[in-house]
Structure 1
Amino acid sequence: MITKSVHTLVNPQNGELAFKVFSFEDATQFDHVQRLNYLSMILITEGEATLKADFTDYQVEKNTLLCFAPYQPFMLAEAKGVKGVVINFHPDFFCIHKHHKEVSCSGILFGNIYEPPYVTLNNDELNSLLALVEQMKTEVQNSDLAQYDLLISYLKIFLINATRIKVAQRPEVISNPDEGSEPYIIQSLKDAIEQHYRTRHSAGDYADLLNISANALAKVVKSYFNKTLTGLIAERIIIEAKRELYLTSKAVKQIAYELGFNDEYYFSRFFKNNANVSPQLYRDTVGFAKGEEY
């Protein structure tokens, strides 16, 4: 991959990436599955590609911002003339969960199993975000007083603006959709998953709850989300497990029990199969009890 002006900050305590911003002129870095232990945003300024994320394919093109949570698998396939900018940051550098009230991007830009992991931009929105990127690049090279605070400020503004854009386009990501804005069965399924994902883990459970055959529900889900119902349920469980692993010091066994798993080892296998990393490694590389330090 051809890159320009790579700017990186490293955590001096562990030598791991804290913050990185760079431009790229082809997408070869992303032509295989990425599973990064930090958050990543890719701002596509030119070209088009097939985004493969969470076992789903999306067609993306210029003026698109892609957003991925730690260890969320993604890649760009069949890329044609793709250029853009990447912003990577570790939760140790800026935790979107701890600062949810300030930026409100968790569940909108990141970690929403019901929405594609990207937002489309018009030219003015793109240029506004690119201006912030240039400020970040400048500040990374500046070791003067309050460098960290300024970088965090630019990142917050970037996240807030991107969140506002997505909410303006799709207000249902933060509110209950109006009657008829999406199929009633889909509204009911989303409500059921949110209410029962800790105790009901099988597709058949939700078919029973909604009084519909498992095959019929599976077809509706595949058509609407381009995902399997089993995959949708698993994603919701994994999102909650990741939050617990990152934000608390609870034992893995306790987290497993609270998510409806009586066997810690079965939960660990379930987590690794869906997140491609063990619960303990996720905690070690993404964070440990950060929410309890404040």
Structure 2
Amino acid sequence: MLLNKSIDIPYQQLPFSGQFNVAPLGVFRNELTEQPHRHDHFQIIWITKGKGRHMVDFVWYEVEDDMIFLLRPGQVHQLDCEREGYFLYFTEQFYFTNKNDKETLYDFTSLFDNWHGYGPISTSGNTTESLLGLIQLMSKEKSCAPNCSRGIVKHYLNAFLLLVEREKKRNAAETMMPLTHDARVVQLRRLLEQHYRTEHQVAFYASAFALTPKRLNEITKDTTGRTVTELLHDRIVLESKRSLAFSHKSVKEICYELGFEDPAYFSRFFKNNTGISPQDFRDMMFK
């Protein structure tokens, strides 16, 4: 059970000035962090020592030492654990100050993709030391206000993200699930995020790449193990769950907001993808 009553789940706004911050986990702890909530920015939670669990989009993960959770804007999460470590948050606008940055800086957005399934990242010895050093460098530079250099912070952050990406690939290799990358799939994710409420046909997304639906499905299947339709349905189901669990909206209202014209069809769609009806899912959340 996540909550004892249905509420419109809030977005947790940036608690500090600016579009970036790094601090010990203990600094950022209030009633909201102990309840399901979401952010309008990217967040990295690095638990150096911890025991308990962490919920991300309705799935609970056991917390261990030296574990990193990557959160995209809008992801619902809840911390239910003893924890020491650090958190970083930043906006895409902070990282990519202007269009030229896209050509010179690492595109971190692919690191936060979950097409291969969400999961925390475990860090190894040498990398853990390097990540800690970068945390200290970012903290030191940020404390130099008003002379703090955005460029210096971004390059430290860039190095931090690259190390985390390497650890993500190492984790995948150890579980015999190597990650593959295709820039078109990254772009597809962005298109799905923008249009999943209104565009439910593969042809719409394929046209953005001047590809046939069959060819785009082949690309996504090779890279993610999922077809475009499956990725789209996953995203719709996730948003359905968020609205059912954390809002007062009726099933009919949720249906229309997600681009379905027939509530009965939406209910069948939800049950086919989850094994449970929308109303039963909502009731299960608040038993």
> TM-score, normalised on structure 1?
0.53
Letter in 2 for 1:170: A
Q: Paired residue for 1:205?
A: none
Q: Deviations over 1:113-152 (max 9, x none)?
A: 4322421112322221111011011001113657111001
The Cα offsets for residues 215-266 of structure 1, whole Å up to 9 and x where unpaired, read as xxxxxxxxx99xxx98972427989xxxxxxxxxxxxxxxxxxxxxxxxx98
- Determine what percentage of the aligned residue pairs are the same residue: 18
Residue of 154, 159, 174 corresponding to 2:180: 174
Matched ranges for 1:25-104 at <5 A: 25=26, 29=30, 30-77=33-80, 79=81, 81-95=82-96, 99=102, 102-104=105-107
Structure 1 residues 158 and 236 mapped into 2: Cα distance closer, same or farther (>3 Å)? farther
Displacement of 1:91 in angstroms is 1.7
Aligned residue in 1 for 2:131:
129
Secondary structure of the 1:76 match is strand
1:6-25 map, 5 Å: 10-11=17-18, 18-25=19-26
Amino acid across the alignment from 2:72: A
1:268 and 1:130 map into 2 onto residues whose CA distance is 47
Q: How well do the aligned residues superpose, as a CA RMSD in angstroms?
A: 4.1
Map of 1:134-145 to 2, 5 A cutoff?
Answer: 134-143=136-145
Native 8 Å contact 2:54 2:61 kept in 1: yes
Structure 1 residues 145 and 83 mapped into 2: Cα distance closer, same or farther (>3 Å)?
Answer: closer
* 1:269 equivalenced with 2:257 (yes/no): yes
1:76/1:113 CA distance change after superposition, 3 Å: farther
Distance in 1, Cα, partners of 2:200 & 2:104: 25
**Higher relative contact order (Cα pairs below 8 Å, separated by 6+ residues):** 2
Kindly provide the CA deviation profile for residues 138-191 of structure 1, in whole angstroms up to 9, marking residues without a partner as x. Answer: 001113657111001111010011111111332522259xxxxxxxxxxxxxxx
Displacement of 1:63 in angstroms is: 0.3
Look up the equivalent residue of 2:257 and give its one-letter code: R
**Offset, 1:27:** 8.5
SS of residue matched to 1:107 = helix
Q: Distance in 2 between matches of 1:90 and 1:236?
A: 24
Runs of 4+ with >6 A deviation: 229-232, 236-239, 265-268
Whether the aligned pair in 2 keeps the contact of 1:100 and 1:106 (CA below 8 Å) is no
Q: Distance in 2 between matches of 1:54 and 1:100?
A: 32
Aligned 1:139-218 pairs, distance under 5 A: 139-143=141-145, 147-170=149-172, 172-174=178-180, 198-199=200-201
User: Which letter maps to 1:235?
Assistant: R
Select which of 87, 106, 110 maps to 1:107: 110
1:210-249 to 2 correspondence within 5 Å? 233-235=233-235
Q: Which consecutive residues of structure 1, in runs of 5 or more, have no partner in the other structure?
A: 1-7, 12-17, 177-192, 201-208, 210-223, 240-264, 272-294
Q: TM-score, normalized by length of structure 2?
A: 0.54
Q: How far did residue 267 of structure 1 move?
A: 8.7
Q: Structure 1 residues 83 and 61 mapped into 2: Cα distance closer, same or farther (>3 Å)?
A: same
Deviation at 1:101, TM superposition (A): 7.7
